Structure 1
Amino acid sequence: MSEQVSQVPVEHFNPQPREVWSNPYPWYQRYRSLDPVHWTLAAERGDAGVWYVFRYEDALAIRAHPCLSRKYRHDRLAEQEIPPAMKPYSDKLRHWMVEMDAPHHTRLRSLTTKHFTSRTVERLRPKLEGLSNYLIDRVLAAGRMDVVGQFAYPMALLTITEMLGMPREDAALFKSWSLTFTAIENRRPTLDLYQRASDAVLEFDAYLKKAIAERRKAPGDDVLSTLVMARNDEQLTDDEVIGTCMLMLFAGHETTVNILGNSVLTLLRNPEQLQLLRAHPELMESAVEDLLRYESPVQSVSNGHASEDFELGGKTIRKGQKVITVFGSANRDPEVFPDPDRLDITRQANRHMAFGMGAHNCLGAPLARLEMRVALETLLRRLPNLRLLSETANWKEGLMLRGLDSLPVAF
């Protein structure tokens, strides 16, 4: 652990500084050991305080806690005067299913689940294999590429736009909106970020309303059609349809990009594990799981606000206080994962939290796993001499999502 980390007072965890989000694991180790259920009032956060949960055991307990509400914050915001720049984005955010409690969350999730089962997404394998080979063909002659910009982004983006039923030629629009939503969710919110996010929401809203009208006339076999054509008790408002699609774009695109970039970087930094995977491709399934654990694409997620007082890890969480689970720390907890700071592609019984836990676990996990397997299989097969062009990792700013801005490699 660095000297700088050891001098940080335990009462002030702040994920905003570069030295934290560029390498959060020594910080996680410190708080996991000294104050695993941790209250911070760090001024730099720009909020009234928040609880961070660092240990696996506590994270597991909190994910399904009945005293935590996702909609509490939105109910409070509805009672307040908020700046006009915040309103369009905040209004749409409350229609994301991850921001809802049961039974509304259950209703929305049940409509989309059928598109993301392991059996359903497996049908996409031929298309994913064709897409990954096409992306490599485009850069093969150059002998180098940016894994993030030239491989991970187009693969994830084209996959999620196809599942939503959107035309490929609109992929650039979807990427722009997704990057804007990512910026405000992953960084300290400012009025400028809120304004950009609100502008993007209004554009996305107008685009989706046209698509919704088209699906009502001629539905297809895509997620948007399923949402639009729901009937009776399951029937959705346009705002619910648009909010769900907005969440799928953000979660299904940005998270997968991070998974692919993080995995390639991790394997290239662990050449003995990469060599083992090349020699034993049957280890791909366990390799995928430990890559997800080792550099989780989602490092921390809000569990909502306490609807009443309750106890966790010897601390009292008061009504109205916000609780954040730090998955990145839970996935390095030595009480659950022996030698947690080592990548081990043979690791078994890997109960990581890369996709969350409980009712709000990631709906798109089967698709993300399939994209990850196909991408890695194709890269390892077609680029046997893959190597990093820089030892410095270009991490994105922020600690909710962990991913790379770019990953230059040669082959």
Structure 2
Amino acid sequence: MTALEGEAQVSAPETQQEEVLPPEFFNEPGQNPHSWNAALRAGCPVHKINHPPGAEAYVVADYANTLKSFSDPRLSKRVDNAPAWFREQLHDASPVLIKNMLTADPPNHTRLRKLVSRAFTARRMEQLRPRIQEITAELIDELPESGETDLMKLAYRLPMRVICELLGVPDDDRSQVQQDVAMLSEAPYPDEERNRLLRVASDKIEQYLVDLLAVRRLDLGEDLVSSLIRAADDDVFTEEELVSTLVLLIIAGHKTTANLIGNGTQALLRHPDQLALLRDDPSLAGGAVEEFLRYESPVFRGTLRVAAEDMDIEGVDIAKESFVHLLFSSANRDPEAFEDPDNLDITRSPNRHFGFGHGAHFCPGAPLSRVEGSVVFPELLRRLPGLRLVDDPANLDWIEDNSTSRGLRSLRVAYDQRLPR
């Protein structure tokens, strides 16, 4: 057990001068980061952190200040407001990723958001429910008739199949697209070989999507790419912006959902009373998804935010060009915002969590992820009676990397039998 994992070994710094959190805070959350987060919320909830290594950076751990930070105009998503070395590193590693709404402020963000909002609506995603149910059924059909399986394989395959069908990506191309996009979903850091691989993946996925756009323009259909092309024709969007937006949608459309399925399943299997509740009443699936997003957030912290000017949060001075990390997983367990926050309650209401962020930069893949989650959890419980964890919960295989997400590398489960559809 590392010092970050043991609650008794953690003491929250009261001011930014007393202690600087190590960069390992983000890539070694351990089995239970929530006791560490609780310590951070004690006293002043804003703390200095050495991440990216050598940069001026801070974490915001409580709900109230995280909520304020979402709409604070001094906190910028625009890459140009980041330090020069980071801009150069990001551009060198993955130039395709810095032309979408995730790295923009209004009014440019508003313009780019409109491109997505026309094609990625909650109503359109809800219309996909029958097809999502069919894909879920097919994937469960492929599981062993009884015994054990790694559920994360299904968790990744379901959203990738759905988003690739939306985009019209052929079956033969999906595995490579998933590999390239998975690489791009990690942040660049001072590692020449890793950044070289990022650039290779970036170039490959960019060329693939440029070719996909060219083919689709010759025969527009009702798919998501065609909708984006039509939206781009109505307004002025560059080819780079279109490609970057497609990459963002693929990332938002599959990784968050895969983590939601894995994190939600392990949480449910560790709380048999809540499992029984959802199994007996599948209509609770929508609320269960919201609670899984809060209880074990698939997004551990927010994406790029930089101080556009000298500022302060909760009395802590933050210099211009400093990184500010919003800890969604911590805010979602803040007892000042949620009653009994460490308890899983699939009937919790209201549930104003930050599982998909908040405000202008709310995750564009949220409507799709919610539909997928509300389909897959009841189906797993219905068709796999006796579903249970194989491994001790203390030994679950959590991914430890520098990305903003929190998810499992594998999730071994057992069940008594696989029931027919």
Tell me the TM-score normalized by structure 1.
0.91
Equivalences for residues 397-408 of structure 1 within 5 A:
397-398=400-401, 400-408=404-412
Query: What 5-or-longer segments of structure 1 have no aligned partner?
Result: none
Aligned to 1:3: 8
Work out the CA distance in 1 between the residues paired with 2:166 and 2:262.
22
Work out the CA distance in 1 between the residues paired with 2:118 and 2:340.
37
| SS state at 2:156 partner | helix
Whether contact under 8 Å (2:249, 2:364) holds in the other structure is no
Which range moves more in the overlay, 294-303 or 334-343?
Answer: 294-303
Aligned to 1:351: 352
Letter in 2 for 1:49: E
**CA gap 1:19/1:93 in 2 versus in 1, 3 angstroms:** closer
**Residues 347-390 of structure 1: per-residue CA shift (max 9 Å, x gap):** 11111010101100111111111100100011011112111111
| SS state at 1:337 partner | coil
Query: What 5-or-longer segments of structure 2 have no aligned partner?
Result: 1-5, 416-421
| SS state at 1:235 partner | coil
The answer to whether residue 156 in structure 2 is matched with residue 153 in structure 1 is yes
Equivalences for residues 210-225 of structure 1 within 5 A:
210-225=211-226
Work out the CA distance in 1 between the residues paired with 2:97 and 2:112.
14
| SS state at 2:183 partner | helix
Q: Which has the higher helix share?
A: 1
Equivalences for residues 235-250 of structure 1 within 5 A:
235-250=236-251
The answer to whether residue 71 in structure 2 is matched with residue 67 in structure 1 is no
**Residues 300-324 of structure 1: per-residue CA shift (max 9 Å, x gap):** 0145212222332122322221111
Work out the CA distance in 2 between the residues paired with 1:45 and 1:205.
26
Aligned to 2:59: 52
Letter in 2 for 1:371: E
Aligned to 1:279: 280
Tell me the TM-score normalized by structure 2.
0.89
Whether contact under 8 Å (1:115, 1:121) holds in the other structure is no
| SS state at 2:143 partner | helix
How many residues of Structure 1 are paired with residues of Structure 2 in the alignment? 403
Equivalences for residues 317-336 of structure 1 within 5 A:
317-336=318-337
The answer to whether residue 121 in structure 2 is matched with residue 117 in structure 1 is yes
Whether contact under 8 Å (2:103, 2:304) holds in the other structure is no
Work out the CA distance in 2 between the residues paired with 1:321 and 1:400.
17
CA drift of 1:64 comes to 0.9
The answer to whether residue 93 in structure 2 is matched with residue 89 in structure 1 is yes
Work out the CA distance in 2 between the residues paired with 1:390 and 1:396.
16
| SS state at 1:116 partner | coil
Whether contact under 8 Å (2:147, 2:414) holds in the other structure is yes
| SS state at 1:166 partner | coil
Equivalences for residues 10-409 of structure 1 within 5 A:
11-14=19-22, 16=24, 20-40=29-49, 42=50, 45-73=52-80, 76-77=83-84, 82=88, 87-149=91-153, 151-182=154-185, 184-185=186-187, 190-230=191-231, 234-391=235-392, 392-398=395-401, 400-409=404-413
Q: What is the RMSD of the two structures over their aligned residues, measured on CA atoms?
A: 2.3
| SS state at 1:141 partner | coil
Which range moves more in the overlay, 254-263 or 213-222?
Answer: 213-222
